[in-house]
Amino acid sequence: MTMHRLLEDFAQENALRDVNPGVKILLGLASILLCISSPGPVTPLFIAVSLSAATVGLARIPPRFYARLLLVPASFAVMSIAVILFLTGGGAVLVSIPLPIFTLTVTTGGANLAFLLVARVLGGMCSLFFISLTTPMTDIFTIMQRLRFPTVFIDLAMLIYRFIFVVIDEAGQIYRSQRMRLGYGTFSESIRSFGMLAGALFLRTWESGEHLVRAMDARCYDGRFGLPDEAPPVSPTWALGVVLYLGLVAGISWTTATITLC
């Protein structure tokens, strides 16, 4: 059990911090939509490569960290894409693996769909990484406010955001002290220790919530938070760049729609 370093930590210090957050979110979301609506694997792969280049090159995210990030969805991807590979039929049989009870077959239809999904997931995840590594959450709150999300939703999200960092610190401390006292030696011990960690964590964070209530009351909290709206202006270069990029991707999507793996 190791603590992940949150993507948010990198977003706070990335080199594209001063670009208007609306433009960055638009680029990321539009790329995701182009990925999942693309009928062929070329477009998502192009998006994966170009947005990864932007994240590492322009936003200056450490390449090693970025490479490890790409492995996060791997376990889910391998399991679910394996099912699709064997279940989807159509076309000629490529591989046939006889098992005691049934035979697993891979057809061209299955291989094409599985490869398309790998490409879409890769493109989609890279677009998502672009948003989360270049746009700090505080900027996203400002956008939410401008889009008229319900106030109570934004307030709750902001409070949860604040508490996440408090709770992570607490969890790390408790975990390290348990570990030092050999709390995770055997399987049954680790269940007990983990339950103890979760219980202590819940009570401690609940108490810090009560402290916050008192602190906010003392400062005349009236049920809503103010948010400074000081997003950097949209630069013409970025606006033009994003429009051209999305146009290029749409063009690629249209011309390569029929290209498949096999």
Strand, helix or coil for residue 83: helix
**Burial class of residue 157 (count of CB atoms within 10 Å of its CB; 0-12, 13-18, 19+):** middle
DSSP assignment, residue 57? I
87 lies in the site for other proteins, by CB under 8 A: yes
Q: Tell me the one-letter amino acid at 252.
A: I
Between 78 and 244, whose beta carbon lies closer to other proteins? Answer: 78
- Residue 89 engages other proteins in binding (rule: CB under 8 A): yes
Q: Is there a contact between 61 and 139 (Cβ–Cβ < 8 Å)?
A: no
Taking CB under 8 A as the rule, does residue 17 contact other proteins? no
159 sits near other proteins (criterion: CB under 8 A)? yes
**Position 162 contacts other proteins (CB under 8 A):** yes
Helices 108-134, 74-87: crossing angle, 10 deg rounding: 160
Residue 93, strand partner residues:
107
Contact 161, 140 (CB under 8 A): no
Contacting residue, 123, 242, 253, 260, with other proteins by CB under 8 A? 123
The piece of 16-24, 80-88, 237-245, 246-254 that touches other proteins (CB under 8 A) is: 80-88
Q: Is 71 helix (H, G, I), strand (E, B) or coil?
A: coil
Which position among 30, 61, 125, 242 is part of the footprint of other proteins (CB under 8 A)? Answer: 125
Angstrom distance (rounded) from CA 86 to CA 94: 11
Structure tokens at 211: 């402290």
Question: Which two three-digit tokens encode residue 55?
Answer: 């994240």
- Give residue 239's identity as a one-letter amino acid code: A
Binding mask 46-65 for other proteins (x = CB under 8 A): --------------------
Name beta bridge partners: 103. Answer: 98
3-class state of residue 93 by DSSP: strand
Question: Which range of residues in 52-60, 124-132, 231-239, 251-259 is near other proteins by CB under 8 A?
Answer: 124-132
Cβ 11 to other proteins shortest distance, Å: 9
For residues 175-234, which are near other proteins according to CB under 8 A? 175, 184, 187, 190-192, 194-196, 198-203, 205-206, 208-210, 212-213, 216-217, 221, 223
User: Cβ of residue 237: shortest distance to other proteins, in angstroms?
Assistant: 26
Strands (DSSP E) along 78-201, which ranges? 93-98, 103-107
Minimum distance from residue 199 beta carbon to other proteins (Å): 3
Select the residue interacting with other proteins from 50, 56, 58, 73 (CB under 8 A).
Answer: 73
**Amino acid at site 25:** I
# residues near other proteins by CB under 8 A: 87
Residue placing its CB nearer to other proteins in the complex, 63 or 195: 195
Q: Is 150 in the site for other proteins (CB under 8 A)?
A: yes
Token pair of 116, please? 């398309």
Is residue 97 part of the contact set for other proteins (CB under 8 A)? no
75 binds other proteins (CB under 8 A): yes
